[in-house]
């Protein structure tokens, strides 16, 4: 646990502090803990994607996330709660973040969005130029069965908040880097692409809400990624986003949703989609 964390204090909650400076401190602590001063690429592994870490290279260091300034441990089953430094076959370094903070964990607290994107800012401060964001999502396109991986081509940020502070005008035309999407499609030409709607959660949607999202142009719905992708773009990183369809969104399938089934579908698809992502990463 970081010294500040031991006292129950998270500096990200202090509005007078610059979150980019806190991310630099976190990056410094990661460098000390891993012995690696620079990471080239960073990955956030959400539900159904955790197996990627063992397929892409060798983990040389693994740190409980809560030991690093600004991070808190993940209370959500299916999430790792650690930060790893992985050496890739091409000798590049990957920072693998298995500890995602979701917006709903803040119970609506103002400023909590800083915590949600802290891992991305820390990855940027660690030197990473590419951010790979993965998660589980509900599929709105009826053809997408649970277990289908989908490239995120754009998003609708429906969280009602933003990680961008002050009068900072960031272009959002190509949040999900076209060259990375092309590369992913060259590895698997059958990979579908879609627009992700990020909602605040934690409840799943009503069927009426899913129909509304469909009308707005969404192909899948989830409770993470868009805010992180925005922070990554602000930090100048390239972004690759991948959803794993863990369930058909409410009302698309006649059966009610259960978190347990969402996790089970993620776990079942994990070896296959993780292998796919590992093949994509070999090309980056």
Q: Is 222 in the site for ligand HPA (CB under 6 A)?
A: yes
223 binds ligand HPA (CB under 6 A): yes
Residues 6+ apart with CB under 8 A from 88: 41, 56, 57, 94, 281
For residue 85, the SS3 value is strand
- Among 103, 262, 278, 284, contact with ligand HPA (rule: CB under 6 A): 262
Among 29, 66, 205, 209, the active-site one is: 205
Q: Which stretch binds ligand HPA (CB under 6 A): 70-78, 103-111, 166-174, 221-229?
A: 221-229
Residue 205 is a catalytic residue: yes
Q: Give how far the C-alpha of residue 140 lies from the chain's centroid of Cα atoms, to the nearest Å.
A: 20
- Burial code (b: 16+ CB inside 10 Å, e: under 16) for 170-181 equals eeeeebbbeebb
Residue 157 found at the interface with ligand HPA (CB under 6 A): no
Among 29, 205, 238, 270, binds ligand HPA (CB under 6 A): 205
Write out the DSSP string of 243-263. EEEEEEPBTTBSSPP-HHHHH
Q: What share of the chain is helix, strand, coil (3-state, %, to 5)?
A: 35, 25, 40
Point out which span in 79-87, 124-132, 218-226, 229-237 binds ligand HPA (CB under 6 A).
Answer: 218-226
Closest CA to 157 of 116, 208, 97, 100: 116
Give me the residue label for tokens 């917006």: 103
66 binds ligand HPA (CB under 6 A): no
Q: Which of 75, 218, 114 is nearest to 156 (CA)?
A: 218
**Residue 38 neighbours by CB distance under 10 Å:** 12
Shortest gap between Cβ of 224 and ligand HPA (angstroms)? 8
> Nearest distance from residue 135's CB to ligand HPA, in Å?
7
Q: Is 225 in the site for ligand HPA (CB under 6 A)?
A: no
Q: Is 196 among the residues that bind ligand HPA (CB under 6 A)?
A: no
Residues ≥6 apart with Cβ < 8 Å to 271? 51
CB of 157 to ligand HPA, least distance (A): 14
DSSP letter (8 states) at residue 102: P
* Cβ(116)–Cβ(227) below 8 Å: yes
* Closer CB to ligand HPA, 57 or 139, in the complex: 139
Q: Is residue 83 involved in binding ligand HPA (CB under 6 A)? A: no
Q: Which is nearer to ligand HPA, 187 or 252 (CB)?
A: 252
Which residue number has the CB closest to ligand HPA? 138
Binding-residue pattern over the window 99 to 138 for ligand HPA, x denoting contact by CB under 6 A: -------------------------------------xxx
| 213 belongs to the binding site for ligand HPA (CB under 6 A) | no
Residue 248: which of 136, 122, 161 has the closest Cα?
Answer: 136
Q: Could you list the active site residues? A: 205
Point out which residues bind ligand HPA (CB under 6 A). 136-138, 204-205, 221-223, 246-247, 249, 257, 262
């Amino acid at each position: 646990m970081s010294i500040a964390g031991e006292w129950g204090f998270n500096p990200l909650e202090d509005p007078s502090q610059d979150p980019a400076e806190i991310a630099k401190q976190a990056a410094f602590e990661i460098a000390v803990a891993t012995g690696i001063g620079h990471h080239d690429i960073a990955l956030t592994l959400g539900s159904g994607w955790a197996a990627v870490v063992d397929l892409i290279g060798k983990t040389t260091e693994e740190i409980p996330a809560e030991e690093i300034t600004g991070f808190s441990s993940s209370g959500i089953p299916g999430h790792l709660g650690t930060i790893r430094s992985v050496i890739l076959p091409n000798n590049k370094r990957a920072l693998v973040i298995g500890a995602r903070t979701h917006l709903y964990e803040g119970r609506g607290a103002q400023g909590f969005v800083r915590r949600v994107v802290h891992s991305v800012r820390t990855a940027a401060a660690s030197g990473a130029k590419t951010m790979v964001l993965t998660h589980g999502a509900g599929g709105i396109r009826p053809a997408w069965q649970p277990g289908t991986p989908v490239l995120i081509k754009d998003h609708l940020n429906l969280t009602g908040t933003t990680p961008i502070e002050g009068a900072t005008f960031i272009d959002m035309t190509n949040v999900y880097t076209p060259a990375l999407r092309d590369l992913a499609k060259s590895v698997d030409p059958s990979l579908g692409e879609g627009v992700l709607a990020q909602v605040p959660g934690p409840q799943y949607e009503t069927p009426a809400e899913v129909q509304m999202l469909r009308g707005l142009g969404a192909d899948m719905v989830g409770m993470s990624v868009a805010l992180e992708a925005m922070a990554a773009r602000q930090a100048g990183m390239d972004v690759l986003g991948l959803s794993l369809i863990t369930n058909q969104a409410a009302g698309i399938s006649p059966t009610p949703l259960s978190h347990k089934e969402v996790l089970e579908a993620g776990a079942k698809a994990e070896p296959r989609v993780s292998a796919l992502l590992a093949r994509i990463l070999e090309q980056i």
